[in-house]
Structure 1
Amino acid sequence: MESDLRIAGTNSRPDIVAWAASEDGKVVPWVVIEIKSGASSSKPEFVLPQVAQYASTLGTADNYVVMGTKWFKADRSFRRLEPVSGPTPPPFGSHGEVDDPAVVEPLLTNWLASLTREMAPRELPVGLPTLEGFSVTNEAYWRAAMRAIADTTSRSGFAQHSSSPLIAALVARLIGNRLEGLVLDPFSGVGSFLWAVADRVRGAMERGESPPNVRLLGVELEERTAAIARAIGEIAGVPTDIVAGDAFRVELPMSSAIVTAPPVGMRLPQPYELLNGRVTTDMDLAAVDLSLRHLEEGGRAVILLPRSFVYRSSGDAYREYLANEFRVGALIGTPRGAVPGTSFAGVVLVIDKGDAPGETFVGQAADDDWQVQLGVEGALTKAAVDHLDGFSEIWS
């Protein structure tokens, strides 16, 4: 298996890493192979320090250097290379249980890349790839899928369907103590916000806590993206349904919480009547309104929007309506670059339905350390949760 494992603290990675079963039946990195050619092939020992570093990091048992057609095996001290005919078969076999996400991540990253290429055929079947002959734990599949999404988020053609893992985690965190029942994302894309909610539930289960009774529902306009999200939802560990369709046309259920990031820079093809009686084709206003219409009393909506939402004159009347009729609990500004695939600065809007209007927490993450401030344990995140729910030490 070709390696995508980059060694921490360096810009290098092994040419090949092969996995095999350990004595306890777990699949682990077993072999490192460095392949050299040209002038460097005359002195294979020069490669030993690099191979030793890989072995120390990965914990591989057998380590090889290939020079042209010749194989060499490093001794345990990494001081010399012994000529061999080829790699030694692993003593415990090559099949076992995979519980390391790093083993599965390249497979899922390539799977996502193949499905999100502009020229990918629309009839391409969508389903999570498997490692034939291996039993992969749900946790390994899940963590690998989350890493693959994060890795693919920055690529053109995919960023519009996904969100930064950090922003997604922030949105899930801001649900606070309202996390119960159905959580809806009417513009779900590949499901980034829903998966962050699933992570909160999974984290509670891992800590032996009693997680809330949560179900996830995503609505995505693009069929292929919905199919990708549906495949990932099968391993979420939380009951999940992904529907392909237009959120403004499908029948949406009432929900306990809503997390979403509507499409950026779009206008509706037909006028939409807002709750305050006014009509608009502004996607941001309509998306917020749609969310509130399908939010139960006592529920919370957490919505990522362009920052212009808070000052556009065309939205003055509707923002005043929100402030008078709902509890606008928080407005948290994100800097440019925080939303993949865009150059706009964003704002996370938190609205509680059924609560009396009150003070709004307003915060702006600094450009230079926004990832720290908006992390799950970041100062800005904790301050916002304190304001929303009166405490910050909720399970995350």
Structure 2
Amino acid sequence: MTAAEISRLAGVTRATVSNWRRRHPDFPQPSGGTEASPSYDRREVEAWLDERGRLPARSSRDDLRAHLHGRAPHEIEAVARFAAHLAGFDGKKRAEIVELDDDRLTALHATPAETDVPAALLRSVARVVDQEGPLAVFDVLGEHTEAPVGVRGTHPTPDAVADLLAALATTGGPRAGSVLDPACGGGRLLAAAATALGPGAAVHGQEYRPVVAAQAEARLAEEVPGAAVRVRTGDSLRDDAFPDLRVDAVVCNPPYGDREWGHDELALDTRWAYGVPPRSEPELAWVQHALAHLTEGGHAVLLLPPATASRSSGRRIRAELLRRGALCGVIALPAGLAVPHHIGLHLWILRRPEAARPGRDLVLLMDASDGEGKASDTGKLHETILDTWQAFTEPAEFAEVPGTARALPAIDLLDDLVDLSPARHVRTAPVITPDAALRDVARLIDRLKADIAALTEASDIGLPASAGEASRTWRGATVADLARGGALAVHRGVRAASPGTLPADLADRPVLRARDLLGGTRADGDAGEIHLADPVVVEAGDVLLTQIVGPQGVATRVAGEDDAGCLLGHGVFLLRPDPARLDPWFLAGFVSAPDNVSQATTGSSTHQLVASRLRVPLLPLGEQTAYGHAFRRLHELRTAARNAATSADETANLLAATLSTGALLPPGTELP
């Protein structure tokens, strides 16, 4: 086992494992690997940990990890298929399978290519399925798969987004009974669509990664037991597993930015009824793939990057989709709802026109991008979008929603650009009366003045004293050393690989995310959407740091009463000092110092903080308090400056909008 596996087994950081190797002569010697990345005999490591009381109770997952170590890819795939097969059995049958003899266990779900998979490995899979369910097996397999999530721009679809896509695809038209997801990943979106269709649905999915395809099959068997499910492995664009299939609904969150999607070899493909997609437009290839699999009148809903609506290279295909009535709507979502989180994605709603009845001439353009995609607001967002879509599909004339949604004739969109970005066609400026505009501007100006006054007060930080001819030096210790000595505790927010159930007293608490630290805002994550592996409750006085190191270093703050009680989110470190030994503001100031962060940072493209390497001066508590007071004043100065800058931007933006739209007049101007 590797150092990373030892740290996971013992529940410590990798830095701690490295310290054990240096400080304990009896620590097991490497049995393989390389000098830079040694591996160790599992039995020796477990015996060493057990002698020191650091070996946790062994779980069925630990046994499976041990059996998977060093396995070939075909064995990993066989394990995935076996777990998916067991997903179809009830609890009693799963318990019986664990007790089968080796021959019967191997024969239970084996192809000729899988007969060499050891029975002990299959039995460990059966135990995990029996105790925790089949999806728990895929949590472990996620550490061994040949193509981790994120390759080729593939990412899981968040539950809230999956539910929205499923609802749009199954409403506003004839009742659907079948669905396809040609890039189904682990099956979250496909399961949501199957649930929306109801019992007896015919469910089809394709995924190019064999292990993830098996995960989708297992998820569907667990979450939609009454559906008729077919999940196939392969690249949907290059090797369509369902070439003759026609379904009532298609849902898809396709890979984005994949320039190697098969442009050259698929140039003459019959699916390109609306034009051959350029190499730089893989999303338009997925759009046409979805349309090719629809029955007449069926709907497809795809989650696409916003550039798909405006890139010049896709103009001709967008125009053809409009001319033939295949495009029903484009909906702009807030940023932060799904990967990539920094941009607001678009929902494209398409319909295969019926031969006897041309497609509807109107196209719904909806800009729901206002806001930050907060998980706590997804319920309201879902309701707003679905209500708007249903109103658009009614026979009655669609009533424009000012600043949010319009129904435009397709011919109005067929200009030189064929830009389908909702923001281009939907007025996003607030529609307010002149009197209301004046009240809002006056309120913002008052707030700006208050924030400037607060900034002026915060800038009175006093003049520090000189340290003399040379800078002061001191003895220091790493955070890891302080943690071993009990001066502080270190926690890190970790996202769970699969959804779990939080204790009732934690389920409704907000989650403190890295973006909250970066923006200086209160915790606003939703525990129901952000699945946490080991929830940690933040307490007042905790020091919080972002794990990702940006151009300006790390964002940090000391938890106050507003933060107390929230849950620690993914990508955030928490240092909990013993107040009798460490002042929290002293600790926060030194661990976030640029030189300190620089020497504790790893990575080339993405820089990540290794909190255990941060160094802290060893000073008496009285001196710590003096430094802590100074660091706290600096934090207040930064916060006041940020608030003043935000108020200035909001005031200037509102004034510019109201002056340019005629709601307000420049100071001293009178109406003619």
Query: What's the TM-score, normalizing by structure 2?
Result: 0.35
Partner of 2:273: 275
Q: Quick check: 2:138–2:215 contact (8 Å CA) kept in 1?
A: no
The corresponding residue for 1:197 is: 193
> Alpha-carbon deviation of 1:118?
12
**Within-5 A mapping of 1:255-294:** 255-267=247-259, 268-271=261-264, 272=267, 274-281=272-279, 282-294=281-293
1:357 aligns with 2:361: yes
Cα offset for 1:261? 1.3
Instruction: Name the SS of the counterpart of 1:375 in structure 2.
Output: helix
Determine which of 200, 204, 227 is the counterpart of 1:217. 204
Structure 1 residue 221: deviation in Å? 1.0
Q: 1:223 to 1:123 in 2, by over 3 A?
A: same
2:75 is equivalent to residue 123 of structure 1: yes
The answer to whether the 8 A contact 1:292-1:353 is kept is yes
Q: Secondary structure at the match of 2:362?
A: coil
Sequence identity, in percent?
Answer: 22
Report the RMSD for the aligned CA atoms in angstroms. 4.4
| Alpha-carbon distance between aligned partners in 2 of 1:331 and 1:118, rounded to the nearest angstrom | 47
For structure 2, the residue ranges without an aligned partner over 5 or more in a row are: 1-52, 54-58, 95-129, 354-358, 396-672
Looking at structure 2, the residues matched to 226 and 149 of structure 1 have their Cα atoms a distance apart, in angstroms, of 11
Q: For 1:390, which of 387, 394, 399 is the aligned residue?
A: 394
Q: Is the 8 A contact 1:220 1:243 kept in 2?
A: yes
Cα drift, residue 135 of structure 1: 4.6
Distance change in 2, residues 1:319/1:181 (3 Å): same
Shift of residue 148, structure 1, vs aligned partner: 10
Contact 2:331 2:347 in 1 (8 A): yes
> 1:134 Cα shift?
5.5
Corresponding residue number in structure 2 for 1:240: 229
The 8 Å contact of residues 174 and 302 in structure 1, kept in 2 or not, is answered as yes
CA drift at 1:259: 0.3
- Which residue among 169, 186, 190 is the counterpart of 2:163? 169
SS in 2 for 1:317: helix
Per-residue deviation, residues 27-58 of structure 1 (Å, max 9, x unmatched): xxxxxxxxxxxxxxxxxxxxxxxxxxxxxxxx
- Please give the secondary structure, in 2, of the residue aligned with 1:349: strand
Superposed, 1:75-154 pairs within 5 Å as 121-124=73-76, 125-126=79-80, 127-128=82-83, 135=92
User: CA 1:147/1:365 → structure 2, altered by over 3 Å: closer, same or farther?
Assistant: farther
Aligned to 2:31: none
Matched, 1:337 2:324: no
> Does 2:327 align with 1:328?
yes
> Compared with structure 1, are the counterparts of its residues 121 and 310 closer, same or farther at alpha carbon in structure 2 (3 Å cutoff)?
same
Q: Secondary structure at 1:123's aligned position in 2?
A: helix
How far apart in 2 are the matches of 1:194 and 1:301? 13
Q: How many residues align?
A: 275
Q: Find the counterpart in structure 2 of residue 381 from structure 1.
A: 385
> Conserved in 2, the CA contact under 8 Å of 1:361 and 1:384?
no
Q: Cα deviations across residues 54-93 of structure 1 (Å, max 9, x unaligned)?
A: xxxxxxxxxxxxxxx9xxxxxxxxxxxxxxxxxxxxxxxx
Deviates more, 1:169-178 or 1:342-351: 342-351
Q: CA deviation at 1:212?
A: 6.5
Letter in 2 for 1:167: V
Hey, what's the Cα distance between the residues in 1 that align with 2:331 and 2:377? Answer: 11
Q: Which has the higher helix share?
A: 2
1:167-187, Cα deviation, whole Å (9 max, x unpaired):
101100101334523201111
Amino acid at match of 2:258: M
SS for the counterpart of 1:269 is coil
Residue 322 of structure 1 aligns to a residue whose secondary structure is helix
Distance 1:364 1:133 in 2: 43
CA separation in 2, counterparts of 1:172 and 1:316?
A: 28
SS in 1 for 2:363: coil
Structure 1 CA distance, aligned partners of 2:330 and 2:254? Answer: 16
1:87 corresponds in structure 2 to none
The alignment partner of 2:262 has SS state of strand
What's the counterpart of residue 437 of structure 2? none
Measured in 2, the distance between the counterparts of 1:345 and 1:115 equals 42
User: What displacement does 1:321 show?
Assistant: 1.0
Residue 297 of structure 1: aligned partner: 296
Contact 2:277 2:317 in 1 (8 A): no
What whole-Å deviation, never above 9, does each CA across 1:306-358 have from its counterpart, x for those lacking one? 11111111111111111111243222222333223664431111012223231
Preserved contact between residue 275 and residue 317 of structure 2 (Cα < 8 Å)? no
The answer to whether the 8 A contact 2:247-2:298 is kept is: yes
User: 1:169 touches 1:376 (CA, 8 Å); kept in 2?
Assistant: no
Residue identity matched to 1:162? P
Question: Residues 118 and 292 from structure 1, CA distance in 2 versus in 1: closer, same or farther, beyond 3 angstroms?
Answer: farther
- 1:186 corresponds in structure 2 to 182
Paired AA for residue 248 in structure 2:
S
Q: Which moved more, 1:312-321 or 1:224-233?
A: 224-233
Q: Tell me, what secondary structure is at the counterpart of 1:383? A: helix
Structure 1: how far apart are the matches of 2:67 and 2:283? 28
1:240 deviates by: 0.9
Instruction: State the Cα distance separating 1:213 from its structure 2 match.
Output: 4.6
The answer (yes or no) to whether the contact 1:326–1:357 under 8 Å persists in 2 is: yes
Mapped to 2, the partners of 1:133 and 1:191 lie a distance apart of 20
1:368 paired with 2:365, answer: no
Partner SS state of residue 296, structure 2: strand
1:304 CA drift (Å): 0.6
Q: Partners of 2:68 and 2:149 in 1: how far apart? A: 6
What does the per-residue CA deviation read over 1:144-177, in whole Å, with 9 as the maximum and x for residues that have no partner?
A: 8889999x99xx9335342111110110010133
- Change in CA separation of 1:118 and 1:254 when aligned onto 2, cut-off 3 Å: farther
Larger relative contact order (C-alpha < 8 A, sep ≥ 6)?
1
Kindly provide the CA deviation profile for residues 99-148 of structure 1, in whole angstroms up to 9, marking residues without a partner as x.
Answer: xxxxxxx989x99x9999999845221144989996599xxx9x988899
CA-CA distance at 1:381 after TM superposition? 2.2
Q: Which amino acid aligns with 1:230?
A: E
Q: Which moved more, 1:173-182 or 1:125-134?
A: 125-134
State the shift of 1:223 in Å.
1.4
